Amino acid sequence: MTTPPHAQEELDLIAQTVDRVSTADAAVLAELRTEVLGRKAGKLTLILRSLGSLPPEQRRLLGARANQIKQALETAIAERERVLQDDTRRTVDVDGTMPARHAWRGARHPVLAVVDEICEIFKELGFTRVSGPEAETEDYNFTKLNMPLDHPAADEHDTFYLGPGALLRTHTSPVQARVMEQYQPPIRIVVPGRVYRRDAFDPSHSPVFEQIEGLAVDEGISFVDFKAGIDYFVKRFFSPDTVVRFRPSFFPFTEPSAEVDVQCQMCKGSGCATCKQTGYLEIMGAGMVHPAVFENCGIDPERYTGYAFGMGPDRITMLRHGIPDIRLLFENDMRFLSQFVS
Ligand SMILES: [Zn+2]
Domains and CATH numbers, the chain: 7-92 (no CATH), 110-340 (3.30.930.10)
Report how far ligand 1's centroid is from the alpha carbon of 243 (Å).
Answer: 13
Report how far ligand 1's centroid is from the alpha carbon of 279 (Å).
Answer: 5
DSSP code of residue 33: I
Report how far ligand 1's centroid is from the alpha carbon of 142 (Å).
Answer: 35
β-pairing verdict for 128-129 and 187-196: parallel
Report how far ligand 1's centroid is from the alpha carbon of 313 (Å).
Answer: 19
List the pLDDT tens digit at each of the 342 positions of the chain.
445 557 788 888 888 888 888 888 888 888 888 888 888 888 888 888 888 888 888 888 888 888 999 999 899 888 988 888 887 776 666 777 888 877 777 888 999 999 999 999 999 999 999 999 999 999 999 999 998 888 776 666 688 999 999 999 999 999 999 999 999 999 999 999 999 998 888 887 889 999 999 999 999 999 999 999 999 999 999 889 989 999 999 999 999 999 999 988 778 889 888 788 999 989 999 999 999 999 999 999 999 999 999 999 998 998 888 888 888 998 888 889 888 887
CA–CA distance, 58 with 62 (Å, rounded to integer):
6
Contact 331, 314 (CB under 8 A): no
Contact 54, 64 (CB under 8 A): no
The length of the chain is: 342
Report how far ligand 1's centroid is from the alpha carbon of 1 (Å).
Answer: 105
Report how far ligand 1's centroid is from the alpha carbon of 268 (Å).
Answer: 6
Report how far ligand 1's centroid is from the alpha carbon of 310 (Å).
Answer: 22
Report how far ligand 1's centroid is from the alpha carbon of 195 (Å).
Answer: 28
Where would I find the H helices in the chain? 7-21, 26-32, 43-50, 56-93, 110-124, 138-141, 174-182, 223-237, 291-296, 313-321, 334-337
Q: What is the pLDDT of residue 153?
A: 63
Report how far ligand 1's centroid is from the alpha carbon of 308 (Å).
Answer: 27
Q: What is the pLDDT of residue 5?
A: 57
Q: Which residues surround ligand 1, an ion (CB under 5 A)?
A: 264, 266-267, 272, 274-275
SS3 of residue 38 by DSSP? coil
Report how far ligand 1's centroid is from the alpha carbon of 277 (Å).
Answer: 6
pTM: 0.68
